[in-house]
Structure 1
């Protein structure tokens, strides 16, 4: 009895899903059917504008149809199909008052964005992929998923007749509908994955764009880091060393005439040298912490947790050593997250987990703060995302309002 109820529930769910897929896949054919009907109804010279509007409607609907298919596949099967659409660049206002959108100059920002959107979409290979899928879907997924609804229609028509052959056809249609409903909609996944995923050329182009952006970010970050080091040296250790040299020169002159003053200057010089040494150590620690180089990522994170004002617990499944650039990226990522937890989330506790799986290293950081964290342009998390992207790493943030905040950093690493 339980299996029967489960089968009926599966058939009902499958029938509804099949109807949804049929409706979505037939949107573009419906546009052409309407155009043909309009041409037949009015006749004469209306065929050309009818066909024009049918072509325009197909181009406009194709992307929406593909988005709905991706949404249905992700919701029903859990398979995520990346869209792979080109992103429009920034629109800038020139000193002449005109707006530049990457293609042409316009007089208004609205016109610049509209033209940029259509030009980007027209030149995007993904748009032609969507058009192809909009033509393929009705004769593949559409026909398969139309079996349960068509069988139900045949069953209703057949059973409403009094003739025995019609009733037998109606019973057969009902059997076909019940038997095919749990399975017909499943054809959406292989067809969508096959025809909606990015081609090798598109994936290569996206990868080139991503690497170009990463190179630019790395160049900017390196320049900013060099300026920071130069500024810290100029304002800190360098100034103190110059003062130290002047104090020693003055003490040398006063050694015979005023020994007490000379000794006082020497004491000040010694204190200044100690302070300079401390500042240099802090500067080196900011570039590459010695504990990270000497003892590895896990011990460095534990030392970082001990220095943090949070009540931080660190757990690790095994001791591991990674390539120095990866260890540095993950270490400063944890430091950034702990700083954000104290400064912005007002957290009191944090939990750090370092583990590895089949693909690489996984670092989880969770705090009990007020939440609301997100990647914002120019923010610390955006910088962390760029730092991990250099190693094909990912950053996943779950931070609802009110907390808690959970951040997961994953970096592929073959050396594991």
Structure 2
């Protein structure tokens, strides 16, 4: 009996707050109607996003009430109303499916909130009388008091049904969050790449060009008085020029390897395999290296990402895995470019261990691709990347 009374008191409090919220809903409904009328007159269009924001605050309170009763959160998925010009905010308020779910809940709760509360207030005294006699004399469990939590639960289920986002809205929101995260990762990777290029140019190419300019200047000064010194200085200048060109080629390869343009993806990967220091087998399935204008080749950004994935994976295998053999598989479908690199090393690859795997993941995520890594202790290590591309 005491347990039933406690649950009944909690249910009454829940229904009481619901009744109070119903009164506020009547005011909010009036605000929405006024905002719609003003929006039709154009001059009051700015009221519509504010009215939608007010209704969202009410539904937020109802979500918290429902979570407090059931212990399960009610997710919220909305288009933003605080960003962009007035036209964009009005459009978001009108097109957002959450707005219509909120309005439906507003009308439903306006009636059921008060009805359920009045029903509970009428039932509570009768439940105390009947269950008091029933439990006190017959030593039986309460019969009417458990109906009060049932009323509160019905109100919570109604709110959860009306306020929970649709599966489509949930998927869309999750997709937006995923793209936001991948965009942030792409910006981080882009910033790191720019810093790397700047460092390579500053520490390598620029230093060699400065040394080249100094030697040419010294050769000009010594031109008349010391021809042998001029020859030596010009030889040094030629060496500096060749080293500067080599540094520039290295920087260019880091941006977009020319071998991709010359040989295509399969040829570029075979060149990587030949210079990796491992016994690497390369297999390719599907059209890979047709002419760029025939539509069968992947976009340049996709090919570059696949090339860097293979380069980083083979480099990791040569430096960290202790493997002697590795394999690379390239498969092209109408929608995907799949890259799989496998080595027979010791395994245990860690993304946080500075092996470049995090950079691979960011580069692939920027193109909306996926990365799957399998590297149990003892090996083997398999890295599989899927990059979307359509021909």
Give the alignment's TM-score, normalised by structure 1.
0.53
Q: Any stretches of 5+ residues in structure 2 without a counterpart? A: 15-67, 78-163, 289-296
The Cα shift of 1:357 comes to: 3.8
Instruction: Look up the match of 2:183.
Output: 215
The Cα shift of 1:269 comes to: 0.8
Q: CA 1:314–1:47 in 2, change beyond 3 Å: closer, same or farther? A: same
Q: 2:339 aligns with which of 336, 340, 363?
A: 363
Render the CA deviation track for 1:312-352: whole Å, top value 9, x for unaligned.
Answer: 11011244221000001111011111111122212111000
- CA distance in 2 between counterparts of 1:396 and 1:249 reads 55
The Cα shift of 1:298 comes to: 0.8
Render the CA deviation track for 1:26-73: whole Å, top value 9, x for unaligned.
Answer: xxxxxxxxxxxxxx47554553358999xxxxxxxxxxxxxxxxxxxx
Instruction: Look up the match of 2:361.
Output: 385
Q: 1:291 aligns with which of 256, 259, 262?
A: 259
The Cα shift of 1:382 comes to: 2.2
Instruction: Look up the match of 2:317.
Output: 341
Q: CA 1:46–1:237 in 2, change beyond 3 Å: closer, same or farther? A: closer
Q: 1:317 aligns with which of 259, 275, 285?
A: 285
Residue aligned with 1:361, SS:
strand
- CA distance in 1 between counterparts of 2:359 and 2:13 reads 47
Instruction: Look up the match of 1:259.
Output: 227
Say if 2:384 is the partner of 1:408.
yes
The Cα shift of 1:257 comes to: 0.8
**Aligned residues of 1:349 and 1:367 also touching (Cα < 8 A):** yes
- CA distance in 2 between counterparts of 1:378 and 1:47 reads 59
- CA distance in 2 between counterparts of 1:52 and 1:391 reads 52
**Aligned residues of 2:347 and 2:380 also touching (Cα < 8 A):** yes
The Cα shift of 1:307 comes to: 0.9
The Cα shift of 1:391 comes to: 2.6
**Aligned residues of 2:334 and 2:389 also touching (Cα < 8 A):** no
The Cα shift of 1:251 comes to: 0.9
The Cα shift of 1:123 comes to: 6.3
Residue aligned with 2:347, SS:
coil
Instruction: Look up the match of 2:75.
Output: 124
Q: 2:173 aligns with which of 184, 202, 205?
A: 205
Render the CA deviation track for 1:75-121: whole Å, top value 9, x for unaligned.
Answer: xxxxxxxxxxxxxxxxxxxxxxxxxxxxxxxxxxxxxxxxxxx9xx8
Render the CA deviation track for 1:352-372: whole Å, top value 9, x for unaligned.
Answer: 011134642211111001011
Instruction: Look up the match of 2:292.
Output: none
Structure 1 or 2, whichever has the larger Rg, is 2
Structure 2 matches for 1:16-415, cutoff 5 A?
Answer: 40=1, 42-45=3-6, 47-48=8-9, 122=73, 124-125=75-76, 199-320=167-288, 321-357=297-333, 359-376=335-352, 380-415=356-391
**Aligned residues of 1:374 and 1:397 also touching (Cα < 8 A):** no
- CA distance in 1 between counterparts of 2:335 and 2:201 reads 41
Instruction: Look up the match of 1:3.
Output: none
Residue aligned with 1:296, SS:
helix
- CA distance in 2 between counterparts of 1:227 and 1:199 reads 42
- CA distance in 2 between counterparts of 1:353 and 1:50 reads 62
**Aligned residues of 2:316 and 2:355 also touching (Cα < 8 A):** no
**Aligned residues of 2:287 and 2:332 also touching (Cα < 8 A):** no
**Aligned residues of 1:298 and 1:319 also touching (Cα < 8 A):** no
Give the alignment's TM-score, normalised by structure 2.
0.56
**Aligned residues of 2:208 and 2:240 also touching (Cα < 8 A):** yes
* Range with greater deviation from structure 2 (316-325 or 356-365): 356-365
Instruction: Look up the match of 2:139.
Output: none
The Cα shift of 1:377 comes to: 8.6
- CA distance in 1 between counterparts of 2:190 and 2:262 reads 24
- CA distance in 2 between counterparts of 1:338 and 1:354 reads 14
Render the CA deviation track for 1:123-164: whole Å, top value 9, x for unaligned.
Answer: 6349xxxxxxxxxxxxxxxxxxxxxxxxxxxxxxxxxxxxxx
Render the CA deviation track for 1:162-183: whole Å, top value 9, x for unaligned.
Answer: xxxxxxxxxxxxxxxxxxxxxx
Q: Any stretches of 5+ residues in structure 1 without a counterpart? A: 1-39, 54-117, 127-195
Residue aligned with 1:313, SS:
strand
* Range with greater deviation from structure 2 (262-271 or 372-381): 372-381
- CA distance in 1 between counterparts of 2:368 and 2:193 reads 22
Residue aligned with 1:226, SS:
helix
The Cα shift of 1:286 comes to: 1.6
